[in-house]
Amino acid sequence: MPELVRLYIWSVALGFAVAAIFTGGLLWLDVAEIGRLVMASDIGWVAVGMLVVFNGIVFSAVQFAFRVMGMAEGDEGPQGGRGARAPVLVPAIVPVRRKGHTRR
């Protein structure tokens, strides 16, 4: 199995585990009364399942992106391109008037 596929599967598993823990924490701490609402409903398990699945998708994507970006090679800086241009300071004359004084 290619290394990138193995990394993706590992990231998905870790993302869904974190999502399950996160959803459990939401229900346990009763954030915005979600726990009470889920327990009072006869189909609250659907809401819990949706929370785990949708948070799992997000957390998996973040985990995979974090790991892939961490695979970058070296610290040589940007390769190619012209880079950022240095700012050029241009002097500007700004007229100043004092309060109470008139121009003579």
C-alpha distances (whole Å) from 61 to each of 2, 7, 11, 15, 80 are 19, 12, 8, 8, 29
Decide if pLDDT at 44 tops 90: yes
Give the dihedral of Cα atoms 28, 32, 36, 42; nearest 10 deg.
-110
Please choose, from the candidates 47, 51, 46, the residue with its C-alpha nearest in 3D space to the C-alpha of residue 22: 51
Per residue in 67-102, pLDDT (tens digit) is 998 887 766 655 666 667 788 899 999 888 777 766
**pLDDT of amino acid 77:** 58
* Percent of the chain residues past pLDDT 90, beyond the cut: 65
- What pTM, to 2 d.p., does this model score? 0.67
Mapped onto helix, strand or coil, the DSSP state of residue 99 is coil
